Structure 1
Amino acid sequence: MEKTSSTPQHDLSASKQSSHDDDKFDVDLEQSEMRAANGLLEALGYEPELTRNRSTLQVAFMSFVLASIPYGLSTTFIYPLLGGGSVNIIWGWLMVSMIILCVSVSLGEITSVYPTAGGVYYQTFMLSPSSYRRIVAWICGWSYVAGNIMITLAVNFGSAQFMIACINVFETSEGVGIFEGKAYQVFLVFLAITLLCNAVSAFGNRWLPLLDTFAIFWTLAGVLAIVICVLVIAKNGRHDAEYVFTNFEPQSGWPVGWSFCVGLLQAAYTTSSTGMVISMCEEVQEPSRQVPKAIVGTTILNTVAGLLFLIPLVYVLPDTAELIALQSGQPVPTIIKSAIGNSAGAFVLLIPLIVLALLCGIGCTTAVSRSVWAFARDGGIPYSNKWKKVNPTLNIPFNAMVLSMVIEIALGLIYFGSSTAFNAFSGVGVITLTVSYACPIAVSFLDGRRQVKNGEFDLGKLGFFCNIVALAWSVLAVPLFCMPSYIPVTAETVNYAPVVFVGFIMLATGWYWVWGKEKYVGPPSIEDSAIDNRPDEACCK
């Protein structure tokens, strides 16, 4: 009996010991991976200052949140309606997603070699010939930082406008919402959202990976709820498959071909955040492998999620002319209300998108603070000593975050003067990010992709093809975002994006010759790091 009774106890002890050993092995492996990542960062010339608290899935989840597909597609739904309706909504999304997949592959290959928070700016510097690397990296860095700031501004301001449109599914009379949406009201909502996103990002940094994980399941549940309800209830009926997949009704006033291109703006806006997650490289356990996988994997996930969200909405699409004429410029709340048949039900279905809007703002706020901090760390921003500091208590670049927030709020004040002029910043945000993504891809491509072959994500001939597609898209996207969405052009519909973009490039270039040429030396190269880290005896010889 004694022998029989002791066996289970022995097995239990052995099981506990085995479990303990497995846990210890996992911890040791994780610490080993972090040491390796920090060692690579030191080899690239930087001292590790941020905590590596994100796994592969968590950085992928953050990348998903930065795009926030259902929310991003909702706030920009007006563009494909103008461009061509159903064909633009469905096939335009699929086409741009395939192109962005090529951009993701191209950036992933380069990031596997140079995984730093400097992102595309650092990569451009390292890949460029020494004769002009400083000026090219300077332009890329300013484009990347400005793009991050303006996209974050656009996300938070778009969230304010979208929330007001959601509230206005409740009406005081036919066609009149309960929220007037005056300029000061929109700005105050934007201000509240901006402050909230910065507060959560600053004081909840350790929990952000959990928040990003929650966002994935929240998005899935929200999209399924919207899809099922609008298709099942469909108060005003459903279109047939021919309408959904083949109907093309350009209403932009442009020739048919260019009108279709205008409709691509929805997908282009939504996917513009593709490379922003690179700024999180120094908070990822294995950035050389995890970040490239996250960028590419998330693009594929976004493509599927986008189709799952868009196709049901097109099946219940009301008259497109009425949607285009909406004063709010936000058709999705009206589409869902039309399908559900009552305001309360529509608002409940819109809640997942509202929450996702806030999560997207938090993700963008986090990413923009890292991009500003990384550029300041290399002396690319005036008074860099202030912006490159990492707060020891919060373990984040708090000063850089505050600087970004102040700039966003200051730019938001332009809305009081002209909403048209303010909207140009959304377009410029996409343009500058597109330019910044194109810089390292172009330099690497012209150099025969030599450095990419040293990375863990080299895709060979497929990568070569993706580089060509990514650069071709950049050539198209810049003029596309500079054109008016529809014609004839009036003072209310003119696109000021090209003026702002050219002004920005002139300012950045001029500032380089006035200040940067003498003060800015760029990020430390691998050679510089080797010199800095050599033994004292070698230094004295």
Structure 2
Amino acid sequence: MASKPESHQHHSSTQKPPSYDLDANSIKYEADIEQSEPTAANGVLEALGYEPELQRNRSTLQVAFMSFVLAAIPYGLATTFYYPLIGGGPVNIIWGWVIVSAIILCVGASLGEITSVYPTAGGVYYQSYMLSPPAYRRIVAWICGWSYVVGNIMITLAVNFGSAQFIIACVNVFEVSPGVGIFEAEAYQTFLLFLGITLLCNAVSALGNKWLPYLDTFAIFWTFVGILVVIVCVLAIAKEGRHSGEYVFTTFEPQSGWPVGWSFCVGLLQAAYATSSTGMVISMCEEVQDPSRQVPKAIVGTIILNFLAGLLFMIPLIFVLPDITELVNLASGQPVPTIVKSAVGTSTGAFLLLLPLCVLALICGIGCTTAVSRSLWAFARDGGIPWSNLWRVVDKRMNVPFNAMMLGMVIEIALGLIYFGSTTAFNAFSGVGVITLTVSYACPIAVSFMGGRKQIQNGNYNLGKLGAFCNVIALAWSALAVPLFCMPSYIPVTADTVNYAPVVFVCFAVIAMAWYWAWGKRKYDGPPSVDDAIIDLRNDGSS
């Protein structure tokens, strides 16, 4: 198990060192105004019991840009466009996005409050431990830690696998005959493309770590230019004509076979998947200059930006939407390339419009890969996964937890083999990712809310009564999302439409609990902490 270092003071001869008051009731950190933000943040990290091992090379805007890239709007919405189409069509797409975005804003605000008090790479796992009563904090942290790690891995797997399927669908806008694309990929070809994308994302994340903030910044401008080009071309050309505003905002045509209300809920997987990365950026806290302020702002600000970008992307597509029945029966499971081609009328034009989404898909995969490595590393640092000594090592040359990154990559590739057994594997990957990340986000929110939210009062992001309201909405959503995304998206259920998400979810749960009873119950102590620690990081930095 990872050793638990005592607090140390790292400062230069020209700076006044941070002062700490460590006792059983509080950790109070006072930062001199002459201190740099990274030095102050490292001091807080040391007070929490960890040695700083990663470089703090991200500003507020850069961490916000990474948060935006993790969601990868519009790519995340494009690859899952199938689900709201079968769930209810235009109403499900637009109003489902509005509803889920409002809910996720509550989730993000709740996580932002807690992160402003406990800004570590352990993220929600560390927060759950610190906020829980001593009697059961170990088991709560264990459940949250495994859920968070599995969620990061599964979302990254879904992103990379979805990228492979989406790229193939984009290539197939070129046809040898009507309805027959030039590259009707077999299962092994799809898997090999997924494998190549996964290897590329890991290579860039590992070897180009210091350049990743600039890549995220590029992605912002690339995304909005791409969206504007799609909007202008699709609406201006509209070869098949345009629907009325009434059709776009009021048409509800369920195709899933479920009762009307449940069909709408199943269609929310698109919005839930696209926003599931909300808390993944918390794992970057130890590479941010002032995480207690920057990360909460990045989480909430990005949700609002994603909401606007999503509407800008989806509404024009619905105005030129072809027949929904034909779209849901596409063999590729990727309607967006077909929608764009129908609107612009040419294969070349459609491919060029889709190209920005393909590039964004790769950038999203790189960001998610980075988040996976940090979450695995942080949990291994406290002995939460088998053979933690291997995964908690930071490669000093690349300044990344390389071993943890490779572990995540191997797990993703192994799970990708499910595709050979079922073409609905992507549904399982995205479903499990949403479920496990939802559980992990709910853990610290629940224990904070049940504990009277007293620790939140010491952070930089206390929303007061509004924060309590957000907590309630976030927990209600969690209670709905877990069973909802275990359901098949289409009935009657066949071998091709079965949802493997519950199977994968249960397998991970069994592994986690087996490891707890075999090892964790006796040896896992959780993160380093001071009993009932509360960190004072309010605006003036004073006691």
Q: What is the TM-score when the length of structure 2 is the normalising length?
A: 0.91
Instruction: Indicate the residue corresponding to 1:321 in structure 2.
Output: 325
Alignment match of 1:175 (pick from 166, 172, 179): 179
Q: CA separation in 2, counterparts of 1:226 and 1:67?
A: 19
Residue 437 (structure 2) aligns with? 433
User: Gaps (5+ residues) in structure 2?
Assistant: 1-31, 535-543
1:359 aligns with 2:363: yes
Letter of the aligned partner of 2:151 in structure 1?
Answer: G
Match 1:312 to one of 303, 313, 316: 316
Aligned length: 503
> Deviation of residue 262 (structure 1)?
1.2
Q: Secondary structure at the match of 2:36?
A: helix
Q: 2:166 aligns with which of 162, 165, 168?
A: 162
Contact 1:42 1:529 in 2 (8 A): no
Alignment of 1:203-282 (within 5 A): 203-282=207-286
1:392 and 1:260 mapped to 2: Cα distance?
A: 49
Q: Tell me how far apart the structure 1 counterparts of residues 145 and 319 of structure 2 sit (CA, whole Å).
A: 43
Query: More helix by proportion, 1 or 2?
Result: 1
- Is contact 2:269–2:431 with CA below 8 Å preserved after alignment? no
Structure 2 Cα separation of the partners of residues 30 and 122 of structure 1: 29
Which amino acid in 2 is paired with 1:240?
S
Aligned to 1:344: 348
- Deviation string 1:5-57 (CA, Å, 9 cap, x unpaired) is xxxxxxxxxxxxxxxxxxxxxxx989611111000000000000000000000
Superposed counterparts of 1:131-210, under 5 Å? 131-210=135-214
Deviation at 1:421, TM superposition (A): 5.0
Corresponding residue for residue 13 of structure 1? none
Structure 1 residue 69, shift from structure 2 partner = 0.9
Q: What residue number does 2:112 align with?
A: 108
CA deviation map 1:96-154 (0-9, x unaligned): 00000000000000000000000000000000111111111011101100110111011
The separation in 2 between residues aligned to 1:212 and 1:421, in whole angstroms, is 29
Task: For residue 337 of structure 1, report the CA deviation from its aligned partner.
Answer: 0.2
Cα distance in 1 for residues equivalent to 2:39 and 2:251 = 56
Report the structure number with the largest CA radius of gyration. Answer: 1
Q: Deviations over 1:233-270 (max 9, x none)?
A: 00000001000011111111111111111111110111
CA distance in 2, matches of 1:529, 1:469: 27
CA distance in 1, matches of 2:400, 2:500: 35
Aligned to 1:66: 70
1:67 deviates by: 0.2
- Give the counterpart of 1:507 among 487, 508, 511: 511
Post-superposition offset of 1:413: 1.7
Distance 1:319 1:313 in 2: 12
Q: d(CA) in 2 for partners of 1:246 and 1:528?
A: 52
Partner of 1:459: 463
Distance 1:30 1:79, change over 3 A: farther
Return the letter of the residue paired with 1:404. G
Aligned alpha-carbon RMSD (Å):
1.5
Question: Letter of the aligned partner of 1:331 in structure 2?
Answer: P
1:374 is aligned to 2:384 = no
Report the AA paired with residue 434 of structure 2: V
Q: How many angstroms apart in 1 are the aligned matches of 2:483 and 2:197?
A: 31
User: Which amino acid counterpart does residue 414 of structure 1 have in structure 2?
Assistant: I
1:196-230 deviations in Å (ceiling 9; x for gaps): 10111011100100000000000010000000000
SS at match of 2:176: strand
Secondary structure, aligned partner of 1:271: helix
SS of residue paired to 1:275: helix
Offset of residue 411 of structure 1: 1.0
Partner amino acid for 1:96? V
**SS of equivalent to 2:278:** coil
Cα distance change of structure 1 residues 335 and 136 upon mapping to structure 2, 3 Å threshold: same
Q: 1:95 to 1:370 in 2, by over 3 A?
A: same
Q: How far has the Cα of 1:451 moved from its partner? A: 0.6
One-letter amino acid of the structure 1 residue matched with residue 216 of structure 2: D
Looking at structure 2, the residues matched to 336 and 61 of structure 1 have their Cα atoms a distance apart, in angstroms, of: 27
Question: What is the distance in 1 between the residues matched to 2:400 and 2:532?
Answer: 26
* Letter matched to residue 219 of structure 1: T
Aligned 8 A contact 1:60 1:295 in 2: yes
Mapped contact 1:30–1:285 kept (Cα < 8 A): no
Q: CA separation in 2, counterparts of 1:76 and 1:277?
A: 22
Shift of 1:493: 1.0
Deviation at 1:180, TM superposition (A): 1.4
**For structure 1, which segment, 496-505 or 252-261, has the greater mean C-alpha deviation from structure 2 after superposition?**
496-505
Equivalent pair of 2:58/2:288 in contact (CA under 8 Å)? yes
Cα distance between partner residues in 2 of 1:526 and 1:201:
34
Is the CA contact 2:162–2:426 (under 8 Å) kept in the aligned structure 1?
no
Structure 1 residue 487 and structure 2 residue 491: aligned? yes
Secondary structure in structure 2 of the residue aligned to 1:413 = helix
Runs of at least 4 residues of structure 1 off by over 2 A?
A: 28-31, 417-423, 526-530
Letter in 2 for 1:364: C
Per the normalisation by structure 1, the TM-score is 0.91
Instruction: Indicate the residue corresponding to 1:10 in structure 2.
Output: none
- Give 1:379 shift: 0.6
Measure the CA separation in 1 of the matches of 2:159 and 2:378.
22
Change (3 A) 1:262 1:529: closer
- For 1:11, the equivalent position in structure 2 comes to none
- Quick one: distance in 1 between partners of 2:33 and 2:220? 27
1:449 & 1:335 partners in 2: Cα distance? 47
1:384 equivalent in structure 2:
388
**Pair 1:188–1:405, CA change in 2 (3 A):** same
2:478 equivalent in structure 1: 474
- 1:430 Cα deviation from its structure 2 partner: 1.1
- Report the identity percentage: 79
Unaligned runs of 5+ in 1: 1-27, 531-541
Can you list the C-alpha shifts for 1:154-173, whole angstroms capped at 9, x where unaligned? 10000000000000000011
Could you report, residue by residue, the CA deviation over 1:484-508 in whole angstroms, capped at 9, with x for unpaired residues?
1111111221112123223322321
